[in-house]
């Protein structure tokens, strides 16, 4: 395993920083998301909800992606591209 500062996956650093913020979110199956710290609420689509739930459970990007690839009809490339964009959104909203 690489123990240097360079993350293996562009999302490693995101999860390292935002793991706690993600855990505090209240998620509802309707897609309603509530951040009790800021009082802000959100709508998330079903696949976004799936990612949020997985990220609340663990901080290993590779495992999260494997889980999604097993359940959904999506290529690894598209998933990574989408996941990156999703993390950009979360970075903005969970500051």
Partner 1 sequence: MTHTLKTWQKPSITPHQLGTLNKFGRPVGGDYVEKIDGVAVDDLLRDYGSPLFVLSEKRLRDNIRQLKRAFESRYQPVIHAWSYKTNYLNAVCATLHQEGSWAEVVSAFEYEKARALGVPASRILFNGPHKKRAILERCVKEGARIHIDNLDELYLLDAIARELDIFTSVTIRLNFETGYTEAWSRFGFNLESGAAFDAAIRIGNSSHLKLRGLHSHVGTFILDTRAYQVEVEKLCDFMELIEQQAHALIDSLDIGGGFASQNAVQGLYLPTEQVVPTMSQYADAICSTLITKTAQREAQGKPRLTLILESGRAVVDDAEVLISSVVGSKRLPDGRASYIMDAGVNLLFTAFWYNHKVKPTRSLQGIAEETVLYGPLCMNIDIVRQSISLPPLSVGDSLVISPVGAYNNTQWLQFIEYRPAIVMVHENGEVSVIRRAENLADINSFESLPDHLNGQFNFSE
Partner 2 sequence: MKTNTKKIKQLTIAVTGMNARADNPGPGVAVARCLREVIGFTGKIIGLGYDVLDPGLFQTELTDAGYLLPYPSAGEDELLSRLDYIQQREKIDVLIPCLDAEILSLIHLQEQIAALGIKMLLPTETQLQCRNKDRLHQFANQIGIKTPEQTPITSSSFFYDCAKKGWTYPLVVKGQFYDAGIAHNPEQAVGLFHRIAAVWGMPILVQKLIEGDEVNLTGLGDGNGKLLGAVMMRKRAVTDKGKAWAGMTVHDAGLLNAAEKLVAGLTWSGPLEVEMMRDKHGDYYLIEINPRFPAWIYLAKASGNNLPWALLEILHQQPLSELTPPIAGTLFIRYAQETIVSLADFEAMMMNGERAVAV
- Quick one: which H or E segment has residue 27? strand 26-27
Options 21, 56, 67, 82; binder of partner 1; rule CB under 8 A: 82
Secondary structure class of 35 (helix, strand, coil): strand
The reply on whether position 31 binds partner 2 by CB under 8 A is: yes
54 binds, among partner 2, partner 1, none (CB under 5 to 8 A by kind): none
Taking residue 19's Cβ as centre, other Cβ atoms within 10 Å add up to 13
Is 41 one of the binding residues for partner 2 (CB under 8 A)?
yes
- How many angstroms separate the CA atoms of 95 and 93, rounded? 6
In angstroms, the CA 81 to CA 47 distance is 14
Could you say which of 6, 37, 73, 77 contacts partner 1 (CB under 8 A)? Answer: 73
- With CB under 8 A as the rule, give the number of residues binding partner 1: 31
Interaction between residue 33 and partner 1 (CB under 8 A) = yes
């Amino acid at each position: 395993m690489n123990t240097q500062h360079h993350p293996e996956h562009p999302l490693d650093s995101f999860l390292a920083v935002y793991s706690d913020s993600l855990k505090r979110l209240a998620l509802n199956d309707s897609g309603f998301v509530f951040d009790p710290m800021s009082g802000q609420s959100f709508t998330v689509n079903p696949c976004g909800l799936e990612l949020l739930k997985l990220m609340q459970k663990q901080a290993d990007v590779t495992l999260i992606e494997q889980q999604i690839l097993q359940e959904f009809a999506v290529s690894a490339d598209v998933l990574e591209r989408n996941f990156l964009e999703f993390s950009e959104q979360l970075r903005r909203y969970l500051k």
